[in-house]
Structure 1
Amino acid sequence: MNNEILPVNEPVLTYRPGSDERSILSAELNTQLSAVVEIPVVVGARRIVSGDTVAVTRPDQHAHVLAQVAQAGLPEVGRAIDAAVEAQCDWSRWSFEDRAAVFLKAADLLAGPWRQRLNAATMLGQGKTVQQAEIDSACELIDFLRFNVSFARQIQSMQPVSSKGVGNSLEYRPLEGFVYAVTPFNFTAIGGNLACAPALMGNTVVWKPAATAALSNYLFLQLLEEAGLPPGVINFVPGDAATVTQAVLASSEFAGLHFTGSTTVFDSLWRSASINLPLYRGYPRLVGETGGKDFVLAHRSADVDTLSIALIRGAFEYQGQKCSAASRAYIPSSLWPAVKERLVAAVAEIRAGRVTDFENFISAVIDRKAFSRINGYLDVAKSDAVTQIVAGGSSDDESGYFIEPTVIEASDPLAVTMREEIFGPVLSVYVYPDAKWDEVLRLVDETSPYALTGAVFAQERSALASARDALRFSAGNFYINDKPTGAVVGQQPFGGARRSGTNDKAGSPLNLLRWVSPRTIKETRIADRSYAYPHMVAL
């Protein structure tokens, strides 16, 4: 790698009362609340508005419609594939620096005039508080755009050795065909990165956004167009997941999948691609980040205040709707009374409500499906003899999909809520005897099929060392004395293994390497003039 100077991470604005950013954002929220946006299918230079639409509503006020989203059918998906294949002929021949200039301009636009447009759309459409939107749709997305350019330059600099009379080089070609980007509701930044990372490397993309994130995702596409992204490089195809995927995976031009979502869906996509493998021009690159049952493990030497704050923020920020959210905790019996007291007090004082009220710590979960699923787990906790709700546990969907932050104490470490991904503001705690540290290390490692994030809290260095070793394969992102959420681009490359995905580390060069197909080029400048070798000379 070369000595490329990495960008500086985008500073997080505070939105304190009286600040300029707070005033601008408040005005933008009012503007977006007063309109219903018509979101089309975007294929090449065409915008298609079909008769079939799906409404985007506010999670915290589900009667309020923010947008109507056109739904791509099989014909529209087919046209998107054709547009992507056609656009790649020109796009892949752009110099890397010309492609990079588009995304660097996009980063500057997002850091400037587009910042509060994306933040407001993320708050209203995806139910994020101002803090959660700022670190996502502003800072992280800006960082992806800037750092990926720097990472790609590092990759370009990785060149082979040349010997006397020979010049060797590596050409980092894009994949042949298009990349299918399937993006989630919970991070605007993930949606943008899953589409943009392959495009930066010369690929073209068919982007299927989550319906509930369509508003912020469409605004980001418009930002990219303003930055100079040519038509057809990223084609925007909201629609029924099965319909869109069926058409995509049936195309001989399918070259790669960039996915964030559930393990079940990723499994299905992988199986379908395997069945269709003989159709494809090459073996497709399948990159996915999926589920998690992320842990916090405390040693008896852990600092109670640090641990408690990490549990509150790690489990409840953005209503627990992060694949990295703290979902299961293992607390030694000597610390549990003090930790429990702090958790109960925090749940009692946490403010929940509409995202337009900046004093709220959390808001509503994304939709009715999520609301019902999380409530199902709360019902299980209330009826199961091995679990007890010690804080929270209530819900209300009269005007928005609100779930109270909930702490469950489980006497059985294999209780349902300790094992299964809930994706809501629910933390399950198993209290273990202080002397059972080695046993609990094995328990943490073996309880979940996932291996996304995890955290260990201890002041004793020997405890940290033993946890780091025993849990080596339990988390792709491992945190020491910090919550298991909040990975920063360029600082903590993100991704997990086991059933949490392919661990291709978004926010690092490792992910970008998946979107190139290198060609080795050897140029001989001084050629031999005889086929004979020295050992063949007669004595």
Structure 2
Amino acid sequence: MVTVDVALHRQRAERVLPRPRLVIGGKELSDTSGGLYAHTNPATGLVQAEIPLAGPGEVDQAVTAARTAFEVWGGMRPAERRRLLTRFAQLIRDHIPDFAAISPLENGVCVGGWAENVGTHIAEWTEYYAGWADKIEGLVGAGHSPHENVEYTLAEPYGVIGHIITWNSPALSLAMKIPPSLAAGNTVVIKPAESTPFSALLFADLAREAGIPDGVINVVTGLGDAGSALVTHPGVDKISFTGGPATARRIMADAALSLKPVVFELGGKSANLLFADTDLDTVVPYCAAFAMSNTGQGCALPTRLLVERPIYDEVVARVTGVVAHLPVGDPLDPTTYIGPLIDAAARDRVQGVIDKAVKDGAGRLAFGGERIDADGYFVSPTVFADVDNRSDLAQREIFGPVLALTPFDTEDEAIALANDTEYGLSAYIQSRDIARVNRLVPRLKAGTVYVNPGPNPITSPATPFGGVGLSGFGREGGRAGLEEFIHVKGVGVGRV
């Protein structure tokens, strides 16, 4: 049974959650056409806020505001954009505790885990891309004799970018999308998930305080009709979406009507290859705990642990021992590692996957699996061993605290198991053998491969992040993440 301090959650919500509203062209709207969404605290199961929702009309207003602001922001000297973004980043850094305080109430992230780092990540991403704002360059070509023609390129912003933000880590999603868009000179319309609007509102408030002009950042929380209105709006020049493949297909179909470009960061079923030459005392606790971080609600988490057979039985025993000692409970308790899932539907779905796997014999239940008695949306951390690689446990993105272990005998078998999925977001290698690492990295079907990673391997702003296959296309992070929001114009100038 999990016990949650309901009174403390209510007090914190009243104190730290931004007032629900839309932000359009610097104006705040609470009376909206999309109605109200009852925001439920994932840890208590109780409604803690009424969220005004945008309909197509408010989306149109937001796009109009963004287009108007683009004339100012896109025409601004790059050095001035850098100065404003740098000030924005410093304000985010000053408010790191506020982002940390919002997260447990918004989507159940534990204050002692993911939540305590999220504000730092937002600040770092914004600082990184602020530095790019005045370093975007074109090229001079050499296609013709300089006596006949001069050719060069201009790197230009698209205009208005529509950003549809994920619910599992909304603040980090904002950080990965919005700063590069702004650094390139675009303006944005952000559609947060209806279940997680608060981080985006604080983000927009700090941008305005930094002096970023009204209309550059607009926030329109809404349901599917708002998302569709954003994607199909003729005033939106590109769409960036983080979420699941099913929604991505609908977005892509809508965008195809006007051949609008999209960038997708979708799901994953990341394999973690664990070889016998590793230090198990260090590696196993990392592998077990990281797979369970954010209650398993992370697209790049290594939820498949592939283990070399000589150490397999020992690793299974060690993993279950680690998971058994991960505290499950109130996300406001700093000792808690595993909190609630986002809502009742997610809890029921994840528990259903666990129950079906046990019934079907998809793997041997090594730990957990039982239902948790709680008012919030909790699921017991669960470990399956001897998992069939063709089962849902190995093929389906569960998005809950479920870890699947499978043995392998050779490098070729490990690669075959790792790549035997439609996803291709991330992969992990645990080995001290650098020759082996160099052999395996090119063979892994993944947008990013992490080798012997530290505790936070996936959030460096300098490293491109994104997937292949069912995990999407396009990149967030690094220069590649900036270039997603730039188009290149070729110019040829003849001699007069």
TM-score (normalizing by structure 2): 0.90
1:161-204, CA deviations, whole angstroms, 9 ceiling, x for partnerless residues?
6886777654322214x211000112212124323322322222
Structure 2 partner of 1:396: 372
Kindly indicate whether the alpha-carbon contact (under 8 Å) linking 1:381 and 1:387 is maintained by their aligned counterparts in 2. Answer: yes
Kindly indicate whether the alpha-carbon contact (under 8 Å) linking 1:56 and 1:212 is maintained by their aligned counterparts in 2. Answer: yes
What is the rounded CA distance, in whole Å, between the counterparts of 2:175 and 2:307 in structure 1? 37
1:199-238, CA deviations, whole angstroms, 9 ceiling, x for partnerless residues?
3222222210012221121111111111112121121111
> Mapping of 1:43-192 within 5 angstroms?
43-50=24-31, 52-63=35-46, 65=48, 67-112=49-94, 114-130=95-111, 131-136=113-118, 138-156=119-137, 158-160=138-140, 169-176=152-159, 178-187=160-169, 188-192=171-175
Kindly indicate whether the alpha-carbon contact (under 8 Å) linking 2:387 and 2:394 is maintained by their aligned counterparts in 1. Answer: no
Q: What is the one-letter code of the residue matched to 1:410?
A: D
1:100 counterpart SS class: helix
Identity %: 25
Q: Does 1:478 align with 2:458?
A: no
What is the rounded CA distance, in whole Å, between the counterparts of 1:302 and 1:155 in structure 2? 42
- How has the CA–CA distance of structure 1 residues 431 and 154 changed in structure 2, closer, same or farther, with 3 Å as cutoff? same
- How has the CA–CA distance of structure 1 residues 457 and 341 changed in structure 2, closer, same or farther, with 3 Å as cutoff? same
Q: Does 1:519 align with 2:489?
A: yes
1:472-517, CA deviations, whole angstroms, 9 ceiling, x for partnerless residues?
xx1111012237963232453211112111132x221112112122
1:46-87, CA deviations, whole angstroms, 9 ceiling, x for partnerless residues?
21112621133321122151x321111121112112222222
Q: Does 1:315 align with 2:291?
A: yes
> Mapping of 1:275-354 within 5 angstroms?
276-277=257-258, 283-354=259-330
What is the rounded CA distance, in whole Å, between the counterparts of 2:178 and 2:251 in structure 1? 17
Kindly indicate whether the alpha-carbon contact (under 8 Å) linking 1:311 and 1:483 is maintained by their aligned counterparts in 2. Answer: no
Kindly indicate whether the alpha-carbon contact (under 8 Å) linking 2:21 and 2:28 is maintained by their aligned counterparts in 1. Answer: yes
What is the rounded CA distance, in whole Å, between the counterparts of 1:394 and 1:361 in structure 2? 18
- Structure 1 portions without partners, runs of 5+: 1-26, 278-282, 529-539
Q: What is the one-letter code of the residue matched to 2:28?
A: R
Structure 1 partner of 2:3: none
What is the rounded CA distance, in whole Å, between the counterparts of 1:345 and 1:489 in structure 2? 30
Deviation at 1:440, TM superposition (A): 2.8
Structure 1 partner of 2:4: none
Residues 380-389 or 31-40, more deviating = 31-40
Deviation at 1:253, TM superposition (A): 2.0
Kindly indicate whether the alpha-carbon contact (under 8 Å) linking 1:299 and 1:437 is maintained by their aligned counterparts in 2. Answer: no
What is the rounded CA distance, in whole Å, between the counterparts of 1:294 and 1:128 in structure 2? 21
Structure 1 partner of 2:413: 439
Deviation at 1:408, TM superposition (A): 0.6
Structure 2 partner of 1:360: 336
- Identify which of 475, 493, 514 aligns with 2:464: 493
Kindly indicate whether the alpha-carbon contact (under 8 Å) linking 1:148 and 1:509 is maintained by their aligned counterparts in 2. Answer: no
Kindly indicate whether the alpha-carbon contact (under 8 Å) linking 1:40 and 1:47 is maintained by their aligned counterparts in 2. Answer: yes
- How has the CA–CA distance of structure 1 residues 419 and 31 changed in structure 2, closer, same or farther, with 3 Å as cutoff? closer
Deviation at 1:364, TM superposition (A): 1.1
Deviation at 1:29, TM superposition (A): 9.9
TM-score (normalizing by structure 1): 0.84
Q: What is the one-letter code of the residue matched to 1:239?
A: G
Kindly indicate whether the alpha-carbon contact (under 8 Å) linking 2:231 and 2:239 is maintained by their aligned counterparts in 1. Answer: no
Structure 2 partner of 1:248: 230
What is the rounded CA distance, in whole Å, between the counterparts of 1:374 and 1:251 in structure 2? 35
Q: What is the one-letter code of the residue matched to 2:308?
A: P
What is the rounded CA distance, in whole Å, between the counterparts of 1:167 and 1:226 in structure 2? 44
Deviation at 1:100, TM superposition (A): 2.1
- Structure 2 portions without partners, runs of 5+: 1-7
Root-mean-square deviation (CA, aligned residues, Å) is 2.5
Runs of 4+ in 1 over 4 A off after TM superposition: 27-31, 33-37, 161-169, 521-524
What is the rounded CA distance, in whole Å, between the counterparts of 2:327 and 2:194 in structure 1? 27
What is the rounded CA distance, in whole Å, between the counterparts of 1:160 and 1:409 in structure 2? 58
Report the count of equivalent residues: 482
Deviation at 1:518, TM superposition (A): 2.7
Answer with 1 or 2: which has the greater Rg. 1
Kindly indicate whether the alpha-carbon contact (under 8 Å) linking 2:158 and 2:237 is maintained by their aligned counterparts in 1. Answer: yes
1:351 counterpart SS class: coil
